[in-house]
Every structure is written in structure tokens, then in C-alpha cells.
Structure 1
Amino acid sequence: MNGLIKLIEIELSQPLPEVTALEGYGQLKALVKFRQRPLGWVELPISGGGCQRATIAQRVLPYYTRLFEQELVQDYLLQSGEKTWALADLLATAPEPIAPNHPLTVAYCLCDRHDVDYTQQLQAIAKLDYPNLEVFVVEALPSDAQVQQLVEQQFPEFRYFSTPEWGLNAARNLAIDQAQGEFIAFLDHQASPAPEWASMIVKTLSQQPHVAAVTGLVIPQAINDRQQSYIASHHALERGFEPRYYHWHDMPHWSDLGTSQIGSGANLACRRTLFEQIGQFDPALDIPGKTAGGGDFELFIRALMQDQTLLYEPSIIAYWHLPTTEAGILKQCQQRLQGFYSATQSSRHRYPHLGRQFLYLNIWRGVLVLMRLVRTYGIPRSWSWTELKATLTSSGNYAAGLTQVAALAPNPQASQLRPITKHMAVRTIDLAAPIPDITDITDYRSLRVFIQQNGHMRGKVDLHHQGEPVNRQRLARAIAEQKLWQLLAQPFAGNEARAQAEVERELQQFWLPPISQPTTTATPTTIPIPHHISIIIPTCDRPDDLISCLTHLRQQQSDRHIEIIVADNRPQSGISANIVAQFPGVRYIAEPRAGSSYARNTAITASTGEIIVMVDDDVVVPPDWLEKLLAPLARPDVAVVMGNLLPFELETPAQWVFEDLKGGLTQGWKPIEANRAWLDSYEHSPPTWNLGVSANAAFRASLFAADAVGLMEEVLGAGTPCRGGEENHLVYKVLRAGHTLIYDPQAYAWHRHRKTMQALCKQWHGYMRSATCYHLILWRQEQDMRAKRQLFSVLPQGIWGYVCDRIKGKHHVPWMIVGNEISGYFAGFWGYYQSVQRVKRLGRSAPYIPVQQRSTQIEPTPTVAALPPR
């Protein structure tokens, strides 16, 4: 694939564009923004040298409409006066203006950067839209006379400085000494600011006087080849699209001390008072050939230790100029590691009581470097060798840096943290009045705000702030996130469903102005009544569940001819047969070969319905479930409908853990449509498991007679050594054959989760074991090489990241579940071999024969008559 990636921006405050002139590009990647605030990335397909507006809408709107609505509501909340909450008024609201009464100093600092053309960066600085600005171009040794000449000739409004000291931090400190501005912003040699960069810095720091420093979003300027694509994805300076506040109270774990998650010195702004309180940048860091970096990370640690608040604000955007040569890439890999280890050595020197935590951090970083050598994840191995060399040779770098500078930055006391003695403050605000700043909460960890409007209580909003004041912009953001539809539903008498539908319709007209469409015949919304339905239930000695399932199936509100078939996968016990005998009209079929695929296939071949519906015996269905599940099949192109599965109860710790960690069995409340194009759109294995489960699904019976689909794969499934995966494989075959699948969240049923931790661990083991087997089937049987990459790259990488996050305390999944997931992955390989041999020994089921082609002599005779039409 062509490695050239076209980067564009899509502004949602105006209609969506058509993108043309994309010949020669392999990919299109768009930064989605609203009023210059970034919301996130989206990858767009290129077709015919461009990307159509409708395609952009399909990819952008499902993911960013809610964020767009939140930003609209946030701006509207900050307006004074009566609020109607009509969408037209929200769209007409302008963001708060920025008053240019705060002087800003921009320091573009250079050191040993002769592989860069500075003209483009300086031109971008000259185009900044903030008037109250002074710009410094500051060079440290080793310097380049061409830079001074460039500034004097082409940018006379800038001031050039040079320092006889070595290192980037020497340049930064000189800029601090010379700056007249209240705020000081820093860019390094690889960064160019967006036009609104300076304005957003001033807006952020002026509105939040408790914030001492702010970092911003750093995104690639361009991606011209595969190597730059690797750097952009694996060495990115981007830190997400949500503002985040950092306090020492929130960073108790040793893994937080790396501070790289806060941002980068390539896009950093500080108050002058911060340097007066904690000192300037450490001049022993960021020295070429020695410490090479780390000055920003060390400054962050020093600020946090002095109880300063730091903020990551993604609306402050700078563009990162990626290295263009192999030598430049390797140099960057080396410098990143040298800077990291030098910053931790500096912090250990300053804060000996944190020495053990910084030691853990260094060891962990070294382990990651070694792991990347073992498993490259697509990164050139030469990069990893360079990182390993930097790791092994960086132990004395900071000491060498100290010998080269005249003085070390001030060494403050270990910690000066405010005591926070109270848990939650409670305040009330009225949306009819301007939203206030809330400042009298320095003794509290968190804040609960009750919201009123015109005398009516609209609910509450909770904020975690660790004793910091909460300004009106932050409070408005929290209200918009937590109370979005309660506010937008006010013009619709509080009907949130109607509000969502109307707002979505109006936004569609806003982003995609209507064009004349040919008249089409309305598609029927229901399947004609004569359709005959077969519901199949595999079971294996779960009498209570089976009784509950059959009882609720018999209560369906439907006029269709419904055939219910129970496939007993353990008939020798006689338990299920006795239960089925209590439900007249239910067919009983024995399948002694263990495995849910065997049971389902036997029931499918015996069924007589035009639609085959699958449920599990531990599922309970509401009375209107069947009609909702069948409704999407009114479209002739839809062959499969997957329904929603919600928890029947959450009474035990195991049930809650399953729902909390895995999200249960639901796929959410948004409909999903998948087809062959969806299947082919993934670089790795397509996530068919995100389309629903066979415990609540409907299939056209003709699928099972088609050569391209056929019955369920009997190597897979519960009750086999593979433990599952059969439904994912069936969905894969259906989509590959060109059919359409719909996931309908309104066709919900209730699932009874495992009640004990022992059963949950067994289930977790089975999920990962079945995932391994499923991908082996795709690779070995379907010849889909994406499954091989998933099996040997994506899955191990995901497990490793899961374990690492557990070690670092980023989640608290019980270790026994983590262990079962790991063992399930490895057990899947042996389980696949066992299951293949087992199917060879037991044989496969007879193929499905359509009802109209069956001979009366061979048609299976039901044990009990089918249910008559209601």
C-alpha cells in the first residue's frame, strides 16, 4: 500500500466538504474540529482520486456528532440571558472572544538542529492571529550563523538571541530572562503553530489563573512514507483530545512519574510566576550528545512537587515536522531515550525520597525496549537496537551534563502540598444566570453542583478537582457532558428520544444540505405474516434455565407460525427430555455429540422455518422480542439480524465484574450494519464479535444451504476443546458471501451471567481460547492472512498491554481473570488441534436441505407437534 497519507481538517461548524485531487495518495486522514477545537481523527477511503461528502458523513458523523453537540451546548451555557435550547440558537452562538490584553512571549528555541529548514516554522509563527505578541528566536551552542541571517533578512519583527552555553534548555532560560510577556510559550525546532495557537494559549491561561503551565496537541504536519507513518503512530507526541488537569494528589503511582502523558516541550506555555517559584529549566538537560532531552519532563515533576496545576489542552495545536531520513529517525529514537533517562536521573538527584519509584520507572522503560526487540509490532528493528543502545549508555549522561553547565537550577524542598481535608463540596447554580467561577472549594477533593433553571431542578453534575478552583468554562464542559440530552430535550417537553431524532435530522440538513432525490417505493417494515419461523435452543442439562427460556418463548406476541426446537446436547441424562415434555408443541431432538455447533446444526437441518432464530437456554425474552428481531429482515438484502443481550441480574460480584469489565454481551444502543465492504475494510481480523452473539439472532434459512455459508463450523463451539467462536465464523462467512447483517439494539433479551468467580474465570479462559481457535480457522481454513497477524501480533500485544496496565494499577481486574485470559490464548492452539481431530473422529453433520426439496420419506418427524399459529 502507498505510504503517502494526506492529512486534512474537517470543520463541523460548516457543511461537510468534498475532497478532491487525491491522486497518488494511499490514505486520507482527517482531523475533525469544531470552532478550531479538535475532536479526533478519522480515516477516510479514497475512491477515484477523491472522497465524496456522503462518504465523509458516514465516517465522521456517527463518531463525532455527540462531541459536536457537547461543544455546542458548552458555548451556549456560557452565554448570558434566557435560553431556548433550540438547535438554531445553539448553532448561531459564537464562542467567547479573546481580549488581547495579556502579553505573550513566543520562544522558538534551537540547538544542534541543522537537518531542519526553519523557514516554514518561522512563517507559521509570523501568521499567528494574536496581536499582543513578542517573538524570540533563540539559539544555543552549537549555533548556526544561517539562522541569524534568516531572521534578520526575512523576519525583522522577530528578535534573535544566542547564548554561549550548550543545550536547548540554555536557550529556553535565555528566553525567560529576556521575556516581557506575562505568559511565555515555547516551540522547538520541529514544531509549527496553528494560526490560533497563541490566542488559545492566552485564552486558556487567562481564564484559569490557577493553572501554572499548559501543553497542547502535537500532530504530524505531513506523512510522506511508511517510516513517517511508523513514527506518527509509535512515537507520537499526541496526548488525546480531552483536556486533563494534573496535580500531585492525582499521581500516586510510580508509573505517573514519567510525566510524558502531560505533554511535550515542543508545545508548552508557562506563567512567568512558575519560574519564579520553582526555577528555570535544568541546564544540564537537553544537551546534544549527552542528556539530549528531558527538560520538559523534569520541569513537570518539579512543578507538581510544588503543588502547581498543569493542564493538557488539545485546542492549543502545533504541527510536528517528522524526520525525513533514516539517520534523522534513528537520532530521534536515541534522543528520546537519552532524555527520558536523564530526566529521571535529575529527579532522583533532587528528590532522593522518590529514588525507588524512579528506579522502577527506569527498569520498566528498559523492559519495554527489550520487548520491542522481541516483538517489533511492525517497527523497523534498527530503531529498537538504537533505543537499546541509548538505554545501556545513558546511566552517566546527567552527571556528564552537570560538568558542562555553570549552575544547576534551584533545588526546592521535597514537597509543599496543600492539605485537602474534605471530600465533596455542594453548590447550586441557575442556568438562567451566567455560570459562575467556583473558587471557595480549596479544601475539597470533588464538587457536586445541583442545576436549576427557572425554578426547576435539572439534576446534578460531579467534578473531581483536588482543591483547585473550577472556572466557568470547565463547569460548562462538565454540564454539557453529563446533562446533554436533558438540556436539549427542553423544547420537546423533556422527551429525549424525540429530541435526539429531531436534532439529528436538523444536523443532517446542516452538514448535508438536501438535494433532490428520485422517488422510491416505500420498503415494508414487517415480514409478511405467512413466514414460518423456527426457534432453536441448544441445551446441556440446565433445567432451571431451560424452563425459564421456554416459558418466555411461549409468551411471544406474534401471529406467525412458530416452531420451537430444543437440541439436547446431553440426551443420556434424560433431564432436558423430561422438561420439553412439559411444553406441548415443542420439538425435542437429541444430539449426543458434545458441542453447541453439533446441537445447533442438528436442529437447523431438522427445522422447517424460512427464518431460523437462535437463542441460548440461559436467555429470557420479553413478549415483543421476536417481532423486533425479525423486523430488519423486511429488507431483502438483510440475511442476519443480531439482537441485544442485557444482564438479567447483577446480584453477585462475578456478575458485576463481567458487566463492568467486559461490558456484558451488549454491543451498545446504536444500530450496526455490516456487509462485505465492512469485512474488507480492516487491516487486521475484522471484529465480527462486535456484531452480536448467536444467543439472540435470526438467519434466513437459505444461508445454511448456500455453498458459501453452510452450517456452523463444528470444530468450534461451546462443549468442544475450542470452547466457542462458532458464531463469529458463521457471521464471517455470511458477510464474505455478500450478505448484509444488522445489529438491532432494540431487539433485546436478558442473559443470566455466571454467578460465581470460578465460573467467570472459566468463561474468561474460554473466550480467549475460542478467539485463538477462531483465528486459526480463518487463517488455515479460510486463507485470510489478516487472522494470522491478529493471532501472532494483535492478540499478544493486547494481552501484554492488559498485563502492563494491571501492574501499573491502571485497572484492577482480578489476577485470576488475567491469568485465565493468558492461559486461554496459549491453550487455544492445542485446543484447535484436539477439536480438528475430534471432528474427524465423530464426523460432520448432514448438510441442510431446503424444506421444499425434502422428500417426505426422509423428513424428520417431530417428537411433539409444532406450535399452531396464534
Structure 2
Amino acid sequence: MSSPALRPISVAELDLDTPEGPVLAFRPAPGGPPVEPGEVYALVRLRGRPAATVVAVVAEGEDPAEVLAGPARRRLAEAGPRTAAERLAAARPLARPDLLARSRPVAVPPRASVVVATRERPEQLARALDSLLAQDHPDHELIVVDNAPLTTDTHDLVTGTYADRVRYVREDTPGLAVAHNAGLAAADGSVVAFTDDDVIADPHWLTALTEPFAADPGLGCVTGLILPARLRTPAQILLESHGGFAKGFAPRVYDPAEPPADEPLFPFTAGSFGSGANMAFRAAALREAGGFDPATGTGTAARGGDDLYAFVAVLSAGFRLRYTAEALVWHHHRDTWQDLRNQAYGYGAGLTAYLTATLVRRPRLLPALLARLPRGLAHARTMTAQRGEGPAGGVPGEHGTHHHPWPRGLSRLERRGMLFGPIGYAQARVRARRGRNAR
């Protein structure tokens, strides 16, 4: 299975005054190279607020801002003369419009702790920390969890370059969930946000991610928008063409007391709630739910699923979950074709590993899962199907459409991962138990 021939795509930001108004700003994505002639993928903002994504071809000598402004205005005008948020939300029904209204941002976000788990990637970590130190949130701390380090590079970076600005925590047991639990234990904020070492956070990210907790005491988790920082390699372009990590621009509230009608598998389709690179929890809610399952996540045999497990755990404890596109991070997708192969297998394994973890630790959910199992199997087949068989015409950012065919080999890897997930989770639990007994 070889990589498809895809040309690099520039990534940029376009800020409009109104959906029909003039361009306020145009710039490359944070940390990215200048925009070049050819295809350009752009985040469209309305006076700074993320609103949509578009792709357009910019010819040599053309003004990329003006070229992209045309499709951006058309995209924002598609649903008629309403606010951009209303137009975008109309594309997907809200689970609880009343709760969404209650959880609108307030003036002062709660104190927050930001946890970044990392392992032997000091250059990427420094880039992420620089963006996190530039946040406009008024009261927060930064915690780096050095997971099973092989060198002192991360320790030296955090305690040297970022001394007195970033707290360093060492966790010798490998696994992303274990590292996140270590960060949770060290955090003193009433809200704990988690992101990865391969992101650049928008300056307003933490404020947008944490404000909703102040307005809704029943809110347990908030997730946000993840966009690609670069689209330079075929692997990056292919991943983003088939959804990437983004969940769209429509706000959403999930309430376990009133399951959403358009989510028949709720809460077991946790992948639709958000991703681990951009999530925050009310600390008390996450602790009440038992934290992350240490036998899940990257670095364990389960390969992933730590974030999905936490989402369902918090919902199962009776808390609500909200998604907001205003909390934005730019993610550096992996570069190579082998990275994408590993990611496809890991997604499949993480999916069934988190479901296994949920049932092992919350057996009372078994009847609900069994009732949803037929639809769940159909959903899994659809998710891992030959994606290129869908409607044509999509571009990176039009999530759910298919511009570049998804190779069958990647679908097979996802399915193989799904078969292995429960086995990997069992192996990880055995190793975790041995590690505890050895202490």
C-alpha cells in the first residue's frame, strides 16, 4: 500500500468583519509557512470567532485573501440571514438548546490547570508551551507530565527554559491515561484542561474551553475544535480530508438525562464528543468518575481510547458534556504514511478497548450497550468502510465528505485494530496490576 500523490496545501486564517463584510485579516496558520500559490485551506473567522473552513485555488500573483473571501462568504450565507453561529448550528440539531443557552460564556472563567503529557519530544513541547503561556485566561497553571522518560531532555527544558512558569511532574509508568491521572492529581484548578505536545493553542483557547463551567454547574466536560496546523504531506491531507479531529462548528450539549434523538448509540459513540488534544473536565466530576482508565491510551497495549473512556465515564456519572468550536487548537498531524497506518490501527484498537474498559469498570452499562449492539456493529462497519465510496467533492474541512479516496488497506487496519482492542486492554490491565504489585 503506497501513499497517494497529493500536492501540499497551504493553511491560513481569514478573518471577516461580517459574513458579507470586508476582510479584517489574513495570515498563515500559527507557526506555519507563508501561503503559496495552489490550494489553500483556511479557517474563516468572524471578528475572531471560528466559523467555517474553506479551500480555494490561488493562482500566481493573486491575492489569497480576496480569492478565499468569495467562497467564505458563500459558505456563511448558505443558511440565510441569521447569525453565523445559528446558521452553522442549523446543520446539526442541538441536543438540548435550553442547556446550551444556560451554558453561554460568562465574564470570569474558573481557575484552570492545563496538563500536557509528553515523552521525548522537547522541540514540539516547547512550541506548545509557548502558545499556552500566551493564553488570555486570567487564572491558570501549566503542568507538564514527563511520561516514562528515557532522557532528561524534558526535565531540563521545563525546569530550565520554563522555570517558575511551568510545573514539572514525572510519571515513570508508561501510558497516556496514567500520565493524565498524574496531572489530575497534581492540579489545583477547579477545571483541568488537557492538550497534547503537538498542538499550538489559539490565545483564547483556554478561556473558551473553561467559561462554560461557570454557567452550568451540571457540566462535567467541554471539548473544542482541532484543526490542522499543516497539510504538507499526503498522510496529513488524507487524514484531514476524512474528518481529521474536527467536530464541526455547531455548538452541542450532550445530556445523559435526555439522550439526543440524533445519536441512537449515545453515549457509546464517544468519538463524536471530541478528542483528547482539546478537552477540559470539572476536576471534581472527573475525580468522582474515577479519572482515566490506566489500561487505556497511547503507550499501553490498548493503543488508545483514554479520552473516549473519560467522556463516557463523566456522562455516566450524570454530568453533561459540551462541544464548542470557539476553543481552538492547531494540531500537527503526523507526517508519514507509516504514521497514518499506525494511527488507523490505533483508532480501531482504542475504540473497542475503551468500550471494554467501560463495561469492565461499569458493568451496569452492559444492558444499554447490548440494546445498541446491532446499530453499533453497523456503525463500526460504516466507519471503517471504503471511504472513497462516499459522495465526491469534499475538501479538508468539509468533514464527512470524501475528496480523496480512503485506501482499503487503512480500513482493514482499523478493523484489525478493533478486533485486537479488547485483547490489548486485557494485556494492559495485567501489566498495570503487575506494576502495582512490584512497588
Same fold (TM over 0.5): yes
Partner of residue 134, structure 2: 555
Distance 1:801 1:582 in 2: 43
* SS across alignment from 2:325: strand
Provide the rounded CA distance (Å) in 1 between the counterparts of 2:120 and 2:359.
34
1:549 aligns to what SS in structure 2?
helix
Shift of 1:818: 2.1
Q: In 2, Cα distance between the equivalents of 1:771 and 1:503?
A: 28
Q: 2:222 maps to which residue?
A: 641
State the shift of 1:752 in Å: 0.8
1:624, distance to aligned residue in structure 2 (A): 1.6
- For 2:128 and 2:82, locate their aligned partners in 1 and report how far apart those are by CA, in whole Å: 31
- 1:671 equivalent among 232, 235, 251: 251
1:689 to 1:527, Cα distance in 2 relative to 1, 3 A? farther
Residues 795-834 of structure 1 correspond to what in structure 2 (within 5 A)? 795=377, 798-799=380-381, 802-803=384-385, 812-834=405-427
Residues in 1 aligned to 2:174 and 2:276: alpha-carbon distance in whole angstroms? 18
Are the equivalent residues in 1 in contact too, given 2:194–2:276 (CA < 8 A)? Answer: yes
In the other structure, the counterpart of 1:596 is 176
Paired AA for residue 611 in structure 1? V
CA separation in 2, counterparts of 1:484 and 1:773? 38
Query: Shift of residue 639 of structure 1?
Result: 2.4
User: Which residue is 1:740 aligned to?
Assistant: 320
Structure 2 residue aligned with 1:610, among 169, 190, 193? 190
Q: Aligned in 2, Cα 1:570/1:781: closer, same or farther, shift over 3 Å?
A: closer
Decide whether the 8 Å contact of 1:536 with 1:567 is kept in 2: yes
Cα separation, 1, equivalents of 2:324 and 2:175: 28
User: 1:498 offset after TM fit, Å?
Assistant: 3.8
Q: Write the deviation string for residues 765-790 of structure 1: whole angstroms up to 9, x where unpaired.
A: 00000111111223333222344566
2:156 is aligned with 1:578: yes
CA distance in 2, matches of 1:540, 1:683: 38
Post-superposition offset of 1:596? 0.5
1:762 aligns with 2:324: no
Q: Deviations over 1:74-132 (max 9, x none)?
A: xxxxxxxxxxxxxxxxxxxxxxxxxxxxxxxxxxxxxxxxxxxxxxxxxxxxxxxxxxx
Q: Distance in 1 between matches of 2:272 and 2:84?
A: 28
Alignment partners' CA distance in 1, 2:407 and 2:104: 49
Structure 1 residues 523, 747: CA separation in 2 closer, same or farther (over 3 Å shift)? closer
Structure 1 residue 527, shift from structure 2 partner: 5.7
2:431 is paired with a residue whose SS is helix
**1:544 pairs with 2:123:** yes
Measured after TM superposition, the shift of residue 594 of structure 1 is 0.5
Equivalent-residue separation in structure 2 for 1:689 and 1:801 (angstroms): 11
Which residue in the other structure is 2:354 paired with?
774
| d(CA) in 2 for partners of 1:800, 1:488 | 29
Q: Work out whether residues 572 and 592 of structure 1, in 8 Å CA contact, stay in contact via their aligned partners in 2.
A: no
Q: Secondary structure at the match of 1:571?
A: coil
C-alpha displacement at 1:694, in angstroms? Answer: 2.4
The question of whether the paired residues in 1 share the 8 Å contact of 2:296 and 2:305 is answered with yes
- Separation in 2 of the partners of 1:826 and 1:639? 31
**What secondary structure, in the 3-state scheme, does the structure 2 residue paired with 1:600 have?**
helix
**With structure 1 as the length reference, what TM-score do the two structures score?**
0.36
| Number of equivalent positions | 341
TM-score normalized by the length of structure 2? 0.69
- Name structure 1 gaps, 5 residues minimum: 1-458, 462-481, 490-495, 506-521, 845-870
Instruction: Tell me if structure 2 keeps the 8 A contact 1:772–1:791.
Output: no
CA separation in 2, counterparts of 1:607 and 1:840? 25
**What's the Cα RMSD here?**
3.5
Q: Which residue of 2 aligns with 1:720?
A: 300
SS of structure 1 residue aligned to 2:414: helix
- Cα gap change, 1:837 to 1:632, in 2 (>3 Å): same
| Aligned position for 1:10 | none
Verify the 8 A CA contact 1:543 1:576 in the aligned structure 2. yes
Does residue 753 in structure 1 map to residue 333 in structure 2? yes
- Tell me the SS of whatever aligns to 2:161: coil
Shift of the 579–773 alpha-carbon distance from structure 1 to 2, 3 Å rule, reads same
Equivalent of residue 281 in structure 2, options 682, 686, 699: 699
For 1:694 and 1:487, locate their aligned partners in 2 and report how far apart those are by CA, in whole Å: 31
One-letter amino acid matched to 1:537: V
Query: One-letter code of the match for 2:112?
Result: I
Change (3 A) 1:484 1:807: closer
Task: Give distance in 2, aligned partners of 1:829 and 1:553.
Answer: 36
Query: Structure 1 645/830 Cα, relative in aligned 2: closer, same or farther at 3 Å?
Result: same
Which residue of 200, 211, 231 corresponds with 1:620? Answer: 200
The offset of 1:720, in angstroms, is 0.7
1:656 paired residue number? 237
Q: Is the 8 A contact 2:293 2:357 kept in 1?
A: no
Q: Residues 494-520 of structure 1: CA distance to partner in whole angstroms, max 9, x if unpaired? A: xx7747759999xxxxxxxxxxxxxxx
The answer to whether the Cα contact below 8 Å between 1:524 and 1:634 also exists between their aligned partners in 2 is: no
Contact 2:208 2:326 in 1 (8 A): yes
Give 2:272's aligned residue.
690
In the aligned structure 1, how far is the partner of 2:170 from the partner of 2:383?
Answer: 44
Which runs of 5 or more structure 2 residues have no equivalent in the other structure?
Answer: 1-68, 91-101, 393-401
SS in 1 for 2:427: helix
Q: 1:705, 1:597 → 2: CA distance?
A: 13
